[in-house]
């Protein structure tokens, strides 16, 4: 198969064996096209390939992608209470679901460790609204000194 034909195939809508749909570029692999997102010097075939790391000292969840780094920052307000206050994904990597991967890992961390959280980052607030899992909602901090909330 010629390189120009591969480029034409991958530039259009491509249906995978599992009936998932992919737009954009890809790499021909035998019987199907595998999507590849190229971002800066980093390429990955699926967001599922990305590994979230947790730096307790810097209070940060992050994904290192070549020279680029996506982050979710938090601060510990008091023992057992975290404020999730910032997510940052480099411009070239936005729109790929990387922020959602960081959000899920941070929320799962809070649940696993039976912590409480204050979600002050607007992206994380939207993620929480879109993913209203009971285990996440239970971990939201409610100030008992303000019964109206």
Residue-level pLDDT at 143: 77
Res. 82: pLDDT tops 90: yes
Is 54 in contact with 38 (CB distance < 8 Å)?
no
Q: Which residue has the higher pLDDT, 5 or 35?
A: 35
Is 26 in contact with 36 (CB distance < 8 Å)?
yes
This prediction's pTM:
0.68
Q: All domains of the chain, ordered by start, with CATH?
A: 3-35 (no CATH), 47-137 (3.40.630.30)
What does the alpha-carbon distance between residue 33 and residue 37 come to, in Å, rounded to a whole number?
Answer: 13
pLDDT in tens, 20-74: 333 344 444 445 555 544 444 455 556 667 899 999 999 999 999 989 999 999 9
């Amino acid at each position: 198969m010629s390189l120009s034909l591969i480029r034409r195939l991958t530039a259009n809508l491509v249906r995978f064996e599992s009936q998932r749909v992919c737009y954009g570029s890809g790499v021909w692999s035998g019987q199907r096209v595998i999507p590849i997102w190229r971002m800066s010097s980093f390429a990955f075939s699926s967001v599922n390939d990305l590994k979230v790391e947790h730096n307790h000292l810097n209070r940060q969840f992050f994904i290192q992608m070549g020279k680029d780094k996506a982050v979710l920052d938090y601060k510990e307000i008091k023992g057992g209470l975290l404020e999730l206050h910032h997510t940052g994904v480099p411009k070239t990597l936005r729109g790929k679901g990387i922020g959602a991967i960081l959000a899920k890992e941070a929320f799962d961390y809070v649940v696993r460790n039976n912590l409480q959280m204050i979600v002050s980052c607007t992206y994380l607030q939207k993620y929480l609204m879109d993913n209203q899992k009971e285990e996440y909602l239970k971990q939201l901090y409610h100030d008992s000194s303000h019964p109206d909330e």
